Amino acid sequence: MPQDRPQMSEDDDGQSPPLDLRSAAIADPCSSSPNKSRNCIPSGAMTSQAFPDHVLENVLENVLQFLDSRSDRNAASLVCKSWWRVESLTRSEVFIGNCYALSPARLTQRFKRIRSLLLKGKPRFADFNLMPPDWGANFAPWVSTMAKAYPWLEKVDLKRMFVTDDDLALLADSFPGFKELILVCCEGFGTSGIAIVANKCRKLKVLDLIESEVSDDEVDWISCFPEDVTNLESLAFDCVEAPINFKALESLVGRSPFLKKLRLNRFVSLEELHRLLLGAPQLTSLGTGSFSHDNAPQSEQEPDYAAAFRACKSVVCLSGFRELMPEYLPAIFPVCANLTSLNFSYANVSPDMFKPIIHNCHKLQVFWALDSICDEGLLAVAATCKELRELRIFPFDPREDSEGPVSEVGLLAISEGCRNLESILYFCQRMTNAAVITMSENCPELTVFRLCIMGRHRPDHVTGKPMDEGFGAIVKNCKKLTRLAVSGLLTDQAFRYMGEYGKLIRTLSVAFAGDSDMALRHVLEGCPRLQKLEIRDSPFGDVALRSGMHRYYNMRFVWMSACRLSKGCCRDIARAMPNLVVEVIGSDDDEDNRDYVETLYMYRSLDGPRKDAPKFVTIL
């Protein structure tokens, strides 16, 4: 007998304090069955005689409200049907790691009161031109389905999705309470779409455009925000490659008293930044824009930039420096001591410019930079930043055969000085096993280890040996490791280590590595937590792929490009695993008898293969 679901009252947003039993019963506006005279339930009493399930579900609702973590919620929903139902009603934030794992309809059928959606689209290797454009990951079907189902939607957080201006327009029109829009690595829209959101989402608190491609439609979107005081808490547009109306921006910042995070694009000059800072000393996170002069610097009355920074006592997170004039860098001295996060990864600073700055940053926990700071700069980081948790060093010159100013020397220094390191991304041209082994011993808290030796198949540059032992030590000693990216010359041995010790690994990135199918087999057979596997240009073939069939339903996706897979094998797997979508991307269309698979992208799906696949995608 189907039971009416207990409905929460309209203005209960899942965060309100628990309702007592009686008010929960009274608040049910939708009960239609005559059996449900729940108003009679005395408060406090858990009468299990007449309506046991209703009482239970009420209690459950009040309890499950407190569950935030999605793994907890997923676990709760598996207990029994009743729990499943109540959990579905009380979940307000949903995370979808692969937009093609299910259809929007399924989402709205199961969860009725979603306020917040996190949705991820394209696989990460698409960032590196390994996938033709227009592959998919369209936001359109999601927004149109949610427009009808979730009128109270407040937050949308998208990563690697294709979002059009029309989608943004629909979003702005459909959700009157919309508060947060976060677009990370997205594309397909322009400043006109942003303008619509700015104009129509009157309750907007967060508008974060992060590393997205935003086309310049020559729209003054900053002026499109409403005239009165805004609710803005965070505005990030550092990736928008279009000039902005500074006067309008200044006015916007002036009428946004709650603004804490502001990330400017490179079209905001140093003088303009200065003016903004004087008007917004409450900022906690600042992206400084270009950090350089307009073309005509006034040498007479140069503004006191340091004073502006001095006034910003709350800034703990600093980024930007998109066109840095290094002579002005000392202006940030006043905030260094408070910084917990510093992003210099677009600033070509030399060690000499850098060292005086970092010397003051004792509290730094997150640090991103270019390798232009050299090993010397890394030594300085190691000497000062004892609290460092996350380090990312990007190459200023991202070519295989470039100079490479950082090496094992810098890595070693960091491992000595920053014992609390949890996450590292390190691009370099040369590395040694010894340094990597030392890091594995010094930094037991590492959960993310991504080392990119930029020359393909490059061995330990001192011993000439493969990098097997270094990566082996990482998986062996870093017992909390969940994410690993390998590089350099690697044999099957490295993968043997991964399979043996990498028991917590969830994400693995492999490029130009391994000798044979055995390598991949070690990983597929040995890493029970593996969720995301991305492999390129490695000699893994059908035997290896087949060896993982027991895993694929438990994984989010597998990407293999330029390996040694045949269409026949992929077809076999697709047939054997009906809930797995097996996409073969990019093979030449006119050579149908060609059995070679250029790119394989496969993922589990509850709703079968997608209907929007472009011509260059074959779903087996």
| Interstrand relation of 234-236 and 507-511 (parallel, antiparallel or unpaired) | unpaired
CA-based nearest residue to 446, from 467, 475, 410: 475
Q: Helix, strand, coil % (nearest 5) of the chain?
A: 35, 15, 50
Q: Which stretch binds another protein (CB under 8 A): 65-73, 272-280, 575-583, 590-598?
A: 590-598
Which of 394, 500, 571, 619 is in the footprint of another protein by CB under 8 A? 394
CA-based nearest residue to 376, from 343, 349, 396, 337: 349
Least spacing, CB of residue 172 vs another protein, in Å: 10
Tell me, by CB under 8 A, how many residues bind another protein.
75
Least spacing, CB of residue 138 vs another protein, in Å: 15
Q: Does 521 bind another protein (CB under 8 A)?
A: no
Q: Does 535 bind another protein (CB under 8 A)?
A: no
Q: Helix (H, G, I), strand (E, B), or coil: what is residue 568? A: helix
Spell out the alpha helix ranges (H) of 483-553.
492-501, 517-526, 542-546
Which tokens belong to 274? Answer: 């200065």
Give whichever of 277 and 520 is closer to another protein, judged by the CB atom: 520
CA-based nearest residue to 320, from 351, 297, 281, 292: 292
Residue in the structure block whose two tokens are 């957080």: 157
Which of 127, 302, 525, 592 is in the footprint of another protein by CB under 8 A? 127
- Residues recorded for the chain: 620
Which of 97, 141, 444, 586 is in the footprint of another protein by CB under 8 A? 586
Give whichever of 283 and 369 is closer to another protein, judged by the CB atom: 369
Give whichever of 185 and 421 is closer to another protein, judged by the CB atom: 185
Give whichever of 213 and 445 is closer to another protein, judged by the CB atom: 213
Contact 564, 595 (CB under 8 A): no
Q: Which stretch binds another protein (CB under 8 A): 67-75, 105-113, 121-129, 278-286?
A: 121-129
Tally of CA atoms within 13 A in the half-sphere of 442 that contains its CB: 18
**Sequence-ordered strand ranges (E) for 454-570:** 483-485, 507-511, 532-536, 557-561
Residues 405-424 that bind another protein (CB under 8 A): none
Which of 196, 277, 315, 411 is in the footprint of another protein by CB under 8 A? 196
Least spacing, CB of residue 452 vs another protein, in Å: 6
Contact 594, 544 (CB under 8 A): no
Which of 129, 299, 301, 593 is in the footprint of another protein by CB under 8 A? 129
Residue 213, Cβ density class (10 Å: 0-12 exposed, 13-18 middle, ≥19 buried):
middle
Dist. CA 68–CA 91, nearest whole Å: 8
Q: What is the largest CA-CA distance in the chain?
A: 86
Give whichever of 107 and 451 is closer to another protein, judged by the CB atom: 451
Q: Does 136 bind another protein (CB under 8 A)?
A: no
Q: Does 257 bind another protein (CB under 8 A)?
A: no
Residues 594-613 that bind another protein (CB under 8 A): 595-596, 598
Least spacing, CB of residue 565 vs another protein, in Å: 8
Dist. CA 1–CA 548, nearest whole Å: 42
Give whichever of 86 and 436 is closer to another protein, judged by the CB atom: 436
Contact 573, 546 (CB under 8 A): yes
Least spacing, CB of residue 209 vs another protein, in Å: 11
Which of 221, 305, 354, 497 is in the footprint of another protein by CB under 8 A? 221
Contact 388, 381 (CB under 8 A): yes
Which of 348, 350, 477, 482 is in the footprint of another protein by CB under 8 A? 348
Least spacing, CB of residue 132 vs another protein, in Å: 5
CA-based nearest residue to 413, from 437, 389, 379: 379
Instruction: Please list, in sequence order, all residues whose beta carbon lies within 8 angstroms of the beta carbon of residue 42, skipping any fewer than 6 positions away.
Output: 22
Between the two ends of the chain, the Cα-to-Cα distance in Å is 41
Spell out the alpha helix ranges (H) of 233-281.
246-254, 270-279
Residues 542-581 that bind another protein (CB under 8 A): 542, 562, 564-566
Which of 219, 504, 549, 619 is in the footprint of another protein by CB under 8 A? 219
Give whichever of 76 and 451 is closer to another protein, judged by the CB atom: 451
Residues 16-35 that bind another protein (CB under 8 A): none
Dist. CA 477–CA 457, nearest whole Å: 24
Least spacing, CB of residue 566 vs another protein, in Å: 5
Q: Does 245 bind another protein (CB under 8 A)?
A: no
Residues 27-86 that bind another protein (CB under 8 A): none
Q: Which stretch binds another protein (CB under 8 A): 77-85, 216-224, 255-263, 413-421?
A: 216-224
Give whichever of 458 and 521 is closer to another protein, judged by the CB atom: 458
Backbone dihedral angles phi then psi of residue 324, each to the nearest 5 degrees: -50, 130
Which tokens belong to 301? Answer: 């009355």
Least spacing, CB of residue 581 vs another protein, in Å: 22
Residues 163-182 that bind another protein (CB under 8 A): 165-166, 169, 173
Give whichever of 64 and 467 is closer to another protein, judged by the CB atom: 467
One character per residue 317-336, x = contact with another protein (rule: CB under 8 A): -----xx-------------
CA angle 192, 197, 201 (to 5 degrees): 155
Dist. CA 277–CA 297, nearest whole Å: 19
Least spacing, CB of residue 347 vs another protein, in Å: 9
Dist. CA 387–CA 367, nearest whole Å: 11
Give whichever of 406 and 511 is closer to another protein, judged by the CB atom: 511
Dist. CA 143–CA 139, nearest whole Å: 6
Which of 137, 329, 335, 452 is in the footprint of another protein by CB under 8 A? 452
Element containing residue 118 per DSSP (H, E): strand 116-120
Q: Does 589 bind another protein (CB under 8 A)?
A: no
Which tokens belong to 447? Answer: 């959960």
Give whichever of 12 and 166 is closer to another protein, judged by the CB atom: 166
Residues 462-501 that bind another protein (CB under 8 A): 464, 489, 491
Which of 4, 397, 441, 572 is in the footprint of another protein by CB under 8 A? 397
Q: Which stretch binds another protein (CB under 8 A): 72-80, 310-318, 340-348, 604-612?
A: 340-348
